[in-house]
Amino acid sequence: MLLLKVDKTELIDAYNKSEVDALLDNKLNVIDQIDAYTKGEADTLLLLNVNQSTTYTKIETDYLISQIQVGDVDLGGNITIGTAQTINANKTFNISCKFVCSIDGIATITGTSFVKSVANDIVVLLGASGTKPISEFAGTQTDMDMALLQNEQLESALVSMIDQRTGRQPYREILKQFPQNLDDQILCTVDAIKLFAPNFFSLRKVADIFEIPHTTLKYRIDNRDSRKKSEPNKRLFDDTEEEIFVAIIISTYEEGSPFTQASFYEYLQQEYPEKEASKGYVQKLTNVAASRIACVDFVEGRPACLIHNCDESGLQDFVDAHNKSVLAPVGIKPADCRYKVERDGRKVSELGTIVLDKERVPILCVVKRMTIDNNLYDNGLREGRDVIVLTSQKGNVNSYHFFIQARDIYIPFVKKQRRDNNLRATERATLIIDGYGAHVMDEVSNLFKKNCIDVLLLPAYSSHRFQPLNLTVFHSMKACVKSRVTVFEKNIQAHK
């Protein structure tokens, strides 16, 4: 060793002769030397107290690896979890992923296994860590989007409606037309039935095939050739505008400040200057506003004995109110039958007036004939005092009758009321009437002005709600007459 000048550092891992001889005596295979450790490495392992119970030899390790036999797989996005572990909700998957259960006993993973906090069943989870309401994915269905009736259903319905042989002819004609939507299919069906089986055509039967009201079917047939406008009517809203407009109306109502007729019209002019309100609506609004102002001017503070309401009503026994039997061609419906009638029955009209203080005003009675029925006075009515009888060709009240009533009945009554209640001769009276033409003619208006009588016209088309006579006397009178007349059949004009 001294002669070889061996460095001391090289003697640390040296073996003595007896150790080398022992190794040679064991005749170790040269291959085994591949996995041999130096003495220093072995000492290090012993010092680190490595658990040798799980140690594998290289041959064992190579064998285990060879049993896996896995191809080239990108494992960059894989996540391994234990039986009791869960995936955190804040884990982001930026690549396509698949959840595989390889442990026996674990339940199948379903959509409900993935829950986003503070979310409910009305939202959809989006990939960008957000949500979106399910309602946004749903669209409204229009007539153009409605699915056509299945061919089998249509054929079966036509055969059932017509017959086994003839019913297939309209069906084949419909198929030739290639309808693109439900409207086209309905109109093609109507045309085909009228062409091949006109005697079997019926609005109700065709409407039943497509499960729509027969009135809707008639409207579609009547308007099939009408020109479609490319833009909405100036007086109308499109669907979106209408939804917004209705929402605003509801919102103002719920907030406790609903639209009045005046504020509603002002809102229309401000927000929708391009829209035009119908003349009828504007006139109605004007009439209502004028009527309210007139109520304040002509009613408030005036004596009850000088506030009156006048209107006309009539009764007639319709001789053609009963069902008739007539000869008609086969296929004609009862509603299509028309026949001429003459209404020669009695017709009586009356022009009555009521007073707020319950005083009686003589009635003007109009009949059709010069000969007055005796029963007109059966209840003790006195001609000229309780009732004044006039005649007309049709038994209706006209402008002449109203002028006679104003001159000979109403104005004398107003003068009497002033005297009986110790009022001035110029104390103004109020007459509430509707806008019937005979009520507002110049001769009558001048007569009222001369006698200090103000006319308060009711708003148009509001008599059934605001006319005092209609709500009281005339209503009771017609109810009484109806209870006595029993010869009319129900659901006909005379009975109603």
CA atoms within 13 A on the CB side of 211: 6
Check whether 221 has a pLDDT greater than 60. Answer: yes
Whether 243 is covered by a domain: the verdict is yes
> Are 280 and 364 members of one domain?
no
Report CA torsion sign: 17, 22, 24, 29.
negative
Looking at the DSSP bridge assignments, the partners of residue 133 are 123
- Give the pLDDT of residue 423: 94
Check whether 274 has a pLDDT greater than 70. Answer: yes
- In angstroms, the CA 288 to CA 259 distance is 15
- Give the pLDDT of residue 410: 93
Whether 74 is covered by a domain: the verdict is no
> Are 426 and 347 members of one domain?
yes
Using DSSP bridges, classify how beta strands 347-355 and 363-367 pair: parallel, antiparallel or unpaired.
antiparallel
> Are 274 and 366 members of one domain?
no
Check whether 114 has a pLDDT greater than 50. Answer: no
- Residue 145: C-alpha distances to residues 167, 183, 222, 243, 340 (Å): 27, 10, 22, 20, 48
Whether 43 is covered by a domain: the verdict is no
| Mean pLDDT, rounded, for 58-75 | 60
Mean pLDDT, the chain, rounded, equals 71
> Bigger pLDDT: 283 or 142?
283
Whether 177 is covered by a domain: the verdict is yes
Last residue in a domain, options 222, 251, 269: 222
- In angstroms, the CA 415 to CA 423 distance is 10
> Are 356 and 454 members of one domain?
yes
Whether 175 is covered by a domain: the verdict is yes
Fill in the DSSP letter of residue 440: S
**pLDDT bracket for residue 12 (50, 70, 90):** very low
Those residues whose C-beta lies under 8 Å from the C-beta of residue 299, and which sit 6 or more positions away, are 307, 430, 456
> Are 350 and 465 members of one domain?
yes
Whether 473 is covered by a domain: the verdict is yes
- In angstroms, the CA 391 to CA 330 distance is 46
- Give the pLDDT of residue 413: 94
Check whether 140 has a pLDDT greater than 60. Answer: no
> Are 427 and 358 members of one domain?
yes
pLDDT in tens, 375-432: 666 666 777 778 888 888 878 888 888 999 999 999 999 999 999 999 999 999 999 9
Cα–Cα nearest to 367, from 358, 375, 355:
375
Q: What DSSP line would sit under 346-384, residue for residue?
A: -EEEEEEEEETT--B-PEEEEESSSSPPGGGGTT-PPBT
CA atoms within 13 A on the CB side of 244: 8
Q: What are phi and psi of 474, to 5 degrees?
A: -65, -35
- Residue 97: C-alpha distances to residues 74, 78, 131, 204, 302 (Å): 11, 8, 20, 57, 88
> Are 261 and 201 members of one domain?
no
Helices 261-271 and 279-298, axial angle in degrees (round to 10): 140
Those residues whose C-beta lies under 8 Å from the C-beta of residue 137, and which sit 6 or more positions away, are 124
**pLDDT bracket for residue 341 (50, 70, 90):** low
pLDDT in tens, 26-44: 554 544 454 555 555 656 5
- Give the pLDDT of residue 159: 85
CA angle, 432 as apex, 431 and 438 as ends, to 5°? 85
> Are 473 and 343 members of one domain?
yes
pLDDT in tens, 121-133: 555 555 445 555 5
Maximum Cα–Cα distance for the chain, whole Å?
A: 173
- In angstroms, the CA 97 to CA 332 distance is 72
> Are 309 and 442 members of one domain?
yes
> The domain containing residue 282 runs over which residues?
239-290
Rounded to two decimals, what is the model's pTM? 0.42
Q: What are phi and psi of 309, to 5 degrees?
A: -135, 130
Tokens encoding 255: 């907030």
> Are 369 and 469 members of one domain?
yes
**pLDDT bracket for residue 10 (50, 70, 90):** very low
- Give the pLDDT of residue 451: 94
| Mean pLDDT, rounded, for 330-344 | 69
- When mean pLDDT is compared across 77-81, 189-193, 224-228, the lowest value belongs to 77-81
Q: What DSSP line would sit under 6-62, residue for residue?
A: --GGGGTTPPPHHHHHHHHHTT--GGGGGG---HHHHHHHHHTT--GGG---HHHHH
119 and 125 in contact (C-beta within 8 Å)? Answer: yes
Q: How many residues does the chain have?
A: 496
- In angstroms, the CA 196 to CA 169 distance is 7
- Give the pLDDT of residue 107: 46
> Are 455 and 319 members of one domain?
yes
Q: Indicate left, alpha or beta for 129 from its phi (over 0: left) and psi (-120 to 50: alpha).
A: left
| Mean pLDDT, rounded, for 3-22 | 52
> Bigger pLDDT: 377 or 351?
351
Report CA torsion sign: 166, 168, 171, 177.
negative
Whether 325 is covered by a domain: the verdict is yes
Last residue in a domain, options 190, 222, 254: 222
| Mean pLDDT, rounded, for 160-179 | 84
Burial 192-216 (b: 16+ CB within 10 A, else e): bbeebbeebbeeeebbebbeeeeee
Domain tally, the chain: 3
Give the whole-number percent of the chain exceeding pLDDT 90. 10
- In angstroms, the CA 359 to CA 413 distance is 10
The CATH code of the domain that includes 426 is 3.30.420
Tokens encoding 335: 């509603």
> Are 217 and 261 members of one domain?
no
Whether 61 is covered by a domain: the verdict is no
Cα dihedral: 315, 321, 322, 325 (round 10): 160
